[in-house]
Amino acid sequence: MYEFKGTLPRYYSGNVCYQYNLQKPCKSLRIRMEYMPTDREENAKEFTEIVTQQLYKAYNRMPSEDEINTALKGVKTEIQLAVYLNDEFLGNIHNPSTVKDMLFDESSERTIGCIKAKPPFFGKLKIIVNSFYVIDKEVSYTVQVETEEA
């Protein structure tokens, strides 16, 4: 099993890519990404000024406190996960959960967001951690890759 750890800085929009070869055919492949956002509400508050300006521009008037607070609820850290094997799409988990878990094997049900890929799995594995925005001062994540040889 491989475990990769990293941190993403505040405001980061971009990706981190792990790419290596599965040198032996595997009958199962599990990829799990988890990130640990800190206090979202507290961190979102620090965006009050930017959000107020954005709302002011949109409405052409000063937004109310309620409007600002409602908008701040939508301000969030968002990180998603995509996986390719030999440049072929295996899956992408794009949802609000902070844990993304993909399992590819013969017998399990298809992971939602992923195709039903059939083993053996080998060759170039590409794992993309897609960071859409980070509101924490920094956010830590781990990516685990678990394989079972065929």
Binding site for other proteins (CB under 8 A): 13-15, 17, 47, 50-51, 54-55, 58-59, 71, 74-76, 78, 80, 82, 84, 87, 89, 91-92, 94-96, 110, 112-116, 128, 130-133, 135
> Which of 14, 25 has the CB closer to other proteins?
14
Q: How far is the CB of 14 from other proteins (least distance, A)?
A: 7
> Which of 7, 48 has the CB closer to other proteins?
48
Q: How far is the CB of 105 from other proteins (least distance, A)?
A: 16
Collapsing DSSP to helix, strand or coil, 107 comes out as coil
| DSSP 8-class letter at 120 | P
Residue showing tokens 């939508």:
74
- The 3 state secondary structure assigned to 64-79 is CHHHHHHHHHCCCCEE
Q: At what angle do helices 48-59 and 65-73 cross, to 10 degrees?
A: 110
Q: How far is the CB of 150 from other proteins (least distance, A)?
A: 24
8 Å CB contact between 76 and 135: yes
Q: How far is the CB of 23 from other proteins (least distance, A)?
A: 23
